[in-house]
Structure 1
Amino acid sequence: MSAHILIVEDDRVTRMRLAGYLRSLGHRVTEVGDAEAMQEVIDIDPPEVLVLDIGLEGKDGLTITREQRAKSRVGIILLTSRDEQVDRIVGLEMGADDYVTKPYDRRELAARIKNLLFRITDIGRSAPVTDAVEDFGPWHFDRIRRRLVSAARIETLSAQEFDLLDVLTRNPGVTFGRPRLSEIIGRGDLRPGDRTIDVLIGRLRKKIEADPTKPDHILTRTGEGYCFAAES
């Protein structure tokens, strides 16, 4: 069965045109205009990907992102305006996987949805984990369920958080530059001023580090990028 994509956009014409385009690509699409209708769909037929207008009236896209990420690993792509840079960063911090700026190219959005579905469904993720770090500090990295488990709590990971932690822990001690990490999470070439990687690293540190300002596991290499601490 094809993946289910749920579009939440309060502009009816924009919503219907996007839904029609995605259906023409073979996706199963539901489109609604607000958070209440969205929840009714989710309760009956949970989607793999939510495409959310960040500026919805009533409960906005940021609030929906925070609520969904607290209880679900559904893929979330935000639709934002050019002047919403701060909101884009906040959206990523709340757990969104990606964003597309309006006016957007439908082909670009479709490509981002495809990449996100690729990661969510673990297509091609069969690389051996023999040399990968699975246990560090109080945490066990459960790659099958895409989560971090300790004696005290469980932390779920968004698709992009998982991808970053997966590649870093498979290569302890190896420094990855931001452009390379951007490619790994499916964002392509890193644009000037794009802080997506830094935001995602910050989110991971909040989840795994005892003190995110003084990390023991995900280290910054000034002028180079990030690496996962190798064992002594």
Structure 2
Amino acid sequence: METTRQRRILVVEDERAIADAVAARLRAEGFLVQVVGDGPGAVEAARRTPPDAIVLDLMLPGFDGLEVCRRIQAEHPVPILMLTARGDETDQLVGLAVGADDYMAKPFSMRVLAARVHALLRRVDKMDRAPETTRPTIRLGDLEINQAERRVLRAGVEAHLTPTEFDLLVHLAGRPRTVLPRERLLADVWGWADASGTRTVDSHIKGLRRKLGADLIRTIHGVGYALEADRKHEADRGNEAGR
């Protein structure tokens, strides 16, 4: 009988009280937890024993969480939940740009943090289990999404997306021009049961627009988002098919 492997979480936080509280909650959830209090130590810990996920504070001694994120993701991509000391949107967007999958602003609920970690791991598991036959390449106008290789090109130029940005784009591209509410995106992409993180969706949408162009995703104010396929390009393809 196969036993389930215990997941390993790396907690990177220099405030000892917060680190201890996060570690205690995650251990209570059944995770193996390692705590590190500085940037260089975090990179070395991840290199020595690759974790299944990382809870990473933005402000750290040595070098900050952004640099930790860059270095770790360059060596061994891993889901990262970044903690910020304030709800500064610039910090959040930069964190997402360098490879964080999600963020939470302090102070935060330990229950919600644990739920976010579980959701990150569920998404990774779902992606790993999906056979390549169910991951076809999506082409919409000049946008090409290779799901098997997790690569995205627009007008032939590759865009480097974080895992969460990629999953969000695939979800939108699977329903082009369909308005998807933020709450539905949170449930389907993030696996969250409540709607408390709608700003997380907004931040990831901004990341996609910055990397793929502001015209790709339309905002329906007060509702959600829709991916806009290139109508001219699709019309040209239709004309060619009808010849």
Same fold (TM over 0.5): yes
Structure 2 counterpart of 1:189, one-letter code = A
- How far apart are the structure 1 equivalents of 2:178 and 2:156? 30
Matching residue of 2:195: 189
Matching residue of 1:15: 19
Q: CA deviation at 1:20?
A: 3.0
* Structure 2 residue matching 1:100: 3-state secondary structure: strand
Could you report, residue by residue, the CA deviation over 1:161-215 in whole angstroms, capped at 9, with x for unpaired residues?
A: 1221121111122121333323333354156xx64323312322333x3xx24x2
Matching residue of 1:220: 218
Candidates 107, 129, 135, aligned match of 2:139? 135
- How far apart are the structure 2 equivalents of 1:24 and 1:197? 28
Matching residue of 2:240: none
Candidates 199, 203, 213, aligned match of 2:203? 199
- How far apart are the structure 2 equivalents of 1:150 and 1:100? 30
Could you report, residue by residue, the CA deviation over 1:3-61 in whole angstroms, capped at 9, with x for unpaired residues?
A: 22111111234323322331222112211111111122222221121111112123111
Distance 1:128 1:175, change over 3 A: farther
Q: Alpha carbon RMSD of aligned pairs, Å?
A: 3.1
Q: CA deviation at 1:121?
A: 1.8
* Structure 1 residue matching 2:169: 3-state secondary structure: helix
- How far apart are the structure 2 equivalents of 1:71 and 1:138? 31
- How far apart are the structure 2 equivalents of 1:45 and 1:101? 27
Distance 1:85 1:198, change over 3 A: closer
Distance 1:99 1:150, change over 3 A: closer
Report runs of 4+ in structure 1 exceeding 6 Å deviation: 150-153
- How far apart are the structure 2 equivalents of 1:22 and 1:175? 36
Candidates 159, 162, 186, aligned match of 1:158? 162
Could you report, residue by residue, the CA deviation over 1:121-161 in whole angstroms, capped at 9, with x for unpaired residues?
A: 2267579858x761345654222343325897654432321
Does the CA contact (< 8 Å) of 1:220 and 1:226 recur in 2?
yes
- How far apart are the structure 2 equivalents of 1:72 and 1:201? 25
Percent of aligned positions that are identical: 35
* Structure 2 residue matching 1:38: 3-state secondary structure: helix
- How far apart are the structure 1 equivalents of 2:87 and 2:183? 24
Distance 1:104 1:151, change over 3 A: closer
Q: Is 1:80–2:87 an aligned residue pair?
A: no
Candidates 6, 13, 16, aligned match of 2:10? 6
Matching residue of 1:64: 68
Does the CA contact (< 8 Å) of 1:161 and 1:200 recur in 2?
yes
Number of matched residues? 223
Structure 2 counterpart of 1:35, one-letter code = G
- Which entry has the higher C-alpha Rg, 1 or 2? 2
- How far apart are the structure 1 equivalents of 2:182 and 2:26? 31
Structure holding more helix per residue: 2
Structure 2 counterpart of 1:229, one-letter code = E
Distance 1:205 1:103, change over 3 A: closer
* Structure 2 residue matching 1:99: 3-state secondary structure: strand
Residue segments in structure 2 that go unaligned for 5+ positions in a row: 236-243
Matching residue of 1:229: 228
TM-score by length of 2: 0.75
Candidates 175, 178, 182, aligned match of 1:174? 178
- How far apart are the structure 2 equivalents of 1:13 and 1:201? 33
